[in-house]
Every structure is written in structure tokens, then in C-alpha cells.
Amino acid sequence: MKEYKTTLENYLANLQEKVGRSNSELLIQFVEKFKATPSEPGDHRIYTVLIRLTAICKMIDKPLDNLTEEDLIKFNNTMRDRGMQSSLYYRRTLKQFLRLLDKKKYFDLIDSDFLKSPKKKNGSKRLVDPHEFWNEEQISEYIKESQKFSERQACWAGLWLSTGCRPHELLSLEAKNITRQNNLLVINVTSGKTGSRTI
């Protein structure tokens, strides 16, 4: 991680040449506030955000503390014209910058329609229905076919398909994590992504 610390320090040292004096002061002020946030971002994260803010400064081409809604329109149009796939991240970065710089002063810009993330086109529907791929009959058929190879293969197939565990959760299971209660297997996942849980 020392390499990112050095890279970040070098980038900050040459920032004025890239974005001008007033914007470089604003970005350095932002970096200090960003470091103090509860998420405690690392040097790599700060460097990434700083690169995005530098690109934003070049697109808007004016001091970021004098932004208007017209500048946001210009910013969005520039990103669209350039075909930028990551425009959502640039809007989020600018919003985060304004929020940390002075939330009250820039409240109207932060709440502007031109900085909001687009809504999902499919509403609140799930993108994938879990039963769309395999139904219960197909799962049991797969497990039966797995038994032709080995009991171990059938066991893994059954656990994988019927528990909904992530691969690393299944691989970290031990014999003590599996118990039998009322003719059912109870699996205690101890190293899950969201913590421990019982299945």
C-alpha cells in the first residue's frame, strides 16, 4: 500500500498544474475531509476519487465552488457526448465532493435532478427469478444424476442447490457445522459474507 501513498502524494503535489489553483485548493480540502469520514478510505480509494474529480474539473472548466445547475447540464452532456460508461460514478463523486465541501451551501445542487442516479427501468422487479432456471424436479434430477459419479458429488450438488450457500461458505463447512434435527439437516454457516446464519 506504500506505493499508493506515494502515488497519491505525487498526484496532490502536481494537482495545481492539472486543475488550476482554486480547484486544487478545493480538492486538497476535500481529500482531508474525505480521509476523516467514518468509512476511512484507503489511499487507493482517495486516489481514484481524485482522478475522477480532476476529470470533472476539466469537463466543467471552472472553479467547483461556483457551480450552477447549468454547469451540471453541461457536465452531463459532455459525458454523454464522450460515451462515458462510468458517468454514474462521476455524478456520485461530484455529489460526494459537494456534500463534504459544504452540504448546506450546495444543497440545491446535491438535490438537483442532474446529479440523481437514474431509476431502474424495470421498477422494483427482480432481474432474475430464482425459479426461472431450475424447479424442484430438475434439482432432484441433477442430484440423482450426480449419484452416478460419487456420493460425494451428490452431497455437494445437494448442498449447493438446496441451501443457497455461496461457494466459499460451503467450502469452509466442517462436520461440526452440520447437525440433524427432526429428520432435517441444519447447517450453521459460520464464515458467511453477511455473518453467521443457520440454514
pLDDT band with cut points at 50, 70 and 90 for residue 141: confident
- Percent of the chain's residues with pLDDT above 90: 1
Grid cell locating 122: 424495470
Instruction: Judge contact between 23 and 59, C-beta under 8 A.
Output: no
8-state DSSP, 134: -
Phi, psi of 162 (to 5 degrees): -100, -15
* Mean of pLDDT values over 73-98: 82
C-beta contacts of 119-127 below 8 A and 24+ residues apart = none
Predicted confidence (pLDDT) at residue 71 exceeds the cutoff of 80: yes
Instruction: Judge contact between 56 and 49, C-beta under 8 A.
Output: no
Residues 30, 31, 37, CA angle at the centre, nearest 5°?
90
Q: Note the pLDDT of residue 124.
A: 57
